Amino acid sequence: MKQYNAKHTAVLSTRGFYTILTVCGLIIAVSAWVLWSSVARPAEAEPAPTTPIIAPTEALPDLSTEQPVVSEQPEPAEPADAPAEPAEHPVDTSVTVSAPVYVRPTAGAVITPFSGDELLFQPTFGDWRAHAGTDFAADAGEGVLSLTDGTVQDVFEDTLFGTCVTVSHDADLMTTYRGLTDVRVTAGQAVSAGEALGACAETIDAEAALGTHIHVEAARGGAAIDVLELLGENEPE
């Protein structure tokens, strides 16, 4: 009996050793699992910061395909008591053209008038011929004035009338002054009514018998006209 108990005790001791060893292994395994869980769980369990989700009330436009939206501002309404705008008055765009001013070339009397197609006796040559200009008496060296505003077209010499000056004016009017000396203007120069063009020469070869004077011609559109008509004077009797 004692021999059985000793053997049974030895068997139980051996089983108990392995049982304890197994239990210890389980305890170590459970402890390791618990330790690992306690370390890993906070990282997994800790909630990540959340960003509030805002649902848009309208769908955003696709900028890659849609045209940009341009908002139209409503026009401001006029106040009810706003004063009415004054009516526009018609603007007068007409241009007032003043009548030209004509000035006598000299203060002397008319010696020989414009004859047009009529023949007049010419004492220098002793014959009858048309007189295309008007002869005004003047002293030698007396200033000869432009009939009206214009532009000097030419200053030239004539074998019978000496130094001559031609001036162009508005309305296709041309005037020529013959028998001058000491000319004070040049071609292209603008002159005013009454401005001195030069002085009266001592003589005009073509009309030497008439004494000291100047010979003035006028033409409109190439046709000779009477200088006295421009001046508003009557021809001498």
């006028």: which residue's tokens?
Answer: 218
pLDDT at 13: 57
Task: Render pLDDT for 178-199 as a digit per residue (tens, 0 to 9).
Answer: 999 999 999 999 999 999 999 9
Task: Supply the mean pLDDT for the chain.
Answer: 80
- CA distances for 48 relative to 36, 43, 44, 45, 51, angstroms: 21, 10, 9, 9, 9
**Choice between 84 and 189, residue whose per-residue pLDDT is larger:** 189
pLDDT at 98: 78
| For range 145-160, the mean pLDDT | 97
Q: How far apart are CA 206 and CA 178, in angstroms?
A: 10
Residue 72 has pLDDT above 60, yes or no: no
